[in-house]
Amino acid sequence: MDLAVLNAGLFLLVIASLAPAALYVIGKIKDPFHPLLFVGTLSYFIAAHRLVVNQKTHFLLLPEDAYAAYVWVALLAVLGVYWGWRLGRSRVVKQYSLSYWQSEFQISYLLLAAMTCTMIGIVICFLIRSDQIVIASATHGMGYVADLKLLWITGAILWVQIFILCPQYRSIASLMFFASLIPPIERFLSYGQRGDTFRVAVILELFYLMRAKRPSKAVFITAAVILGLVLGTLERTRAIVNSGDAKNRFEAISKVIPSFFAQADTIPDTGGEDVFGAAAMRTVQDTGTYGYGRSLTIGLVGRFLPRKFFPDKDAWTTFHGGYDATMIQSATGLTISGGAACSGFAESFLELSWFSPIIWVGIGYLYRKLWDRALAGDLRFQGFMVGFSIAILYGISQALIVAEVNIIYVLLPLFLIYRVAHTRSEVHLLPAPA
């Protein structure tokens, strides 16, 4: 019975998550950057793919009903995003021309902000690389300072917008845009970081949003397949680069890509989103230690408390029992790999149990509002769209609290920068379409 429930949920999840991709292929969805296409495809790879290709060995770690709960929570989350998207449709949206923003933004402010964000991101990145930030975090409990490295994203978004808005600054914008990519390139080459690689891909979307153009279907699908293969196998390159079996990251990728298509018969890593997510959910179900939304609210504030002055800081960051190694061991018998993430689907359940789809309805609603304004030519919301997509990437693949951190360090600076640089005149508005 448990296996039937799991497979039924898995079947529906595959259909729901891949439906936008199918609609794009047959031409029902025209825009390749449609947010539901992104959310659906990402959800498939996070919540369904491993259980589709490697189901039997998962049962060596946890029983069928544990995975069934995880799959059904993911399905309800995906459907919640779709429903929120429908609810968030804007009836009337002001249309903006590019010339409006060229005349209404004080470019000197954008240049200064972009330069500042880029330099902070690069400096923090290399301080982390030299362990200076790590040492300071361990000593003073201010690990959140390391999050300032995310400002390279804000800088990259601004450089793209400056490049489009100001032809006279395109040389410096191009140079500084590539400079802002130093942190993700360094992480790609040294570690095989998947998140930063995907962030760069999302930022490139901004060139098309601002120009109101789109790549052809053939170009987009080819690029998406290549990106999917790279991201799907990048984690496996770390071991062979470290062992010397591959000279560099690119050679390692070419060696591991065939494994993406092979059905694995090895026991999954306990740090995988599906295993960790299912184990964490089982733990809070058995113990009743739900967070009731506190980890996403009070916990976000607690993250910024210096441990030097708040030695019990951890008590103010995580309020559910899904991350407690002792409780997980007692409830499931598993020891979770270090640095693992349970996925945003599971985390929302750890907070609100079966009421968790409420969170995803809100995400879908907000995504639609941002998308409608971005398509209307609002430069600010085009930047917000890219930043929010990056946040959702982490919200689905890692944890909702990580999405909130991305919003704080990417969208909040963008909001403040736009607020200062925009003169807020309304003289160049185009009439809204009938």
| pLDDT tens digits, one per residue of 46-60 | 899 888 888 888 888
**Backbone phi and psi for residue 429, each to the nearest 5 degrees, phi listed first:** -70, 140
What does the pLDDT look like over 180-197, one tens digit per residue? Answer: 998 888 877 776 677 778
Structural tokens at position 33: 């950057």
> Is the pLDDT reported for residue 302 higher than 90?
no
The helix (run of H) or strand (run of E) holding residue 72 is helix 64-87
Q: CA torsion 356→360→362→363, rounded to 10°? A: 150
Structural tokens at position 392: 């959702």
> Is the pLDDT reported for residue 240 higher than 80?
no
Once rounded to an integer, what is the mean pLDDT over residues 20-42?
93
Q: In percent, how much of the chain has pLDDT > 70?
A: 84
Per 3-state DSSP, the chain is made up of helix, strand and coil in percentages (nearest 5) of 75, 0, 25
> Is the pLDDT reported for residue 75 higher than 90?
yes
pLDDT at 169: 92
**Which amino acid, one-letter code, is at 345?**
F
Transcribe 199-250 into DSSP letters. Answer: HHHHHHHHHHHHHT----HHHHHHHHHHHHHHHHHHHHHHHHHHHTSSSSHH
Total length of the chain: 434
Lowest mean pLDDT among 83-87, 230-234, 426-430: 426-430
State the Cα angle at 212 between 210 and 82, rounded to 5°. Answer: 95
What does the pLDDT look like over 388-418, one tens digit per residue? Answer: 999 999 999 889 999 999 999 999 999 999 9
Instruction: Parse the chain into domains and list their residue ranges.
Output: 2-91+271-359
Report the chain's mean pLDDT, rounded to a whole number. Answer: 85
